[in-house]
Amino acid sequence: MNFEAARLIQLQALDNEMRKTGESPQDNLKRDKIVSAMPPQIVSRYERLRGRYPQAVARLVGGVCEGCRVRMANSLAQRLRAQGTMQICDHCGRFIYFDGD
């Protein structure tokens, strides 16, 4: 898994935790640190997706996006498995990643 994918997953986990327990100054500092290490265009897309979906980042499981439950094209799924990079779901627009399952 590449750096951006790992950071997006970490950011989403922190955002979910903050939504459940409330924001704290420590959480905001952690979030700022994660966001500052990422390219602005990825952060911008993530923020737009968070406004639309509770989960902006989804896993690819069995060739299916866990966010929208739509099967990905075989070429996209194979590329995702082989390269370990983050891709965009053609159907819902979420970031999707493959973690070996």
Can you give the pLDDT at residue 65?
94
Residue type at 15 in one-letter notation: D
pTM: predicted TM-score of the whole model, two decimal places: 0.85
Strand, coil or helix: 66? coil
Question: What tokens were used for 19?
Answer: 């939504």
Domain CATH number, residue 18:
1.10.287.1490
Distance between CA 87 and CA 93 in Å, rounded? 9
Mean pLDDT computed over 83-97: 89
Q: What residue numbers bound the domain in which 53 lies?
A: 3-97
Q: Which pLDDT tens digit goes with each residue over 40-52?
A: 999 999 999 999 9
Q: Which tops the pLDDT comparison, 11 or 79? A: 11
Whether 1 shows a pLDDT value over 60: the answer reads no
The structural domain count of the chain equals 1
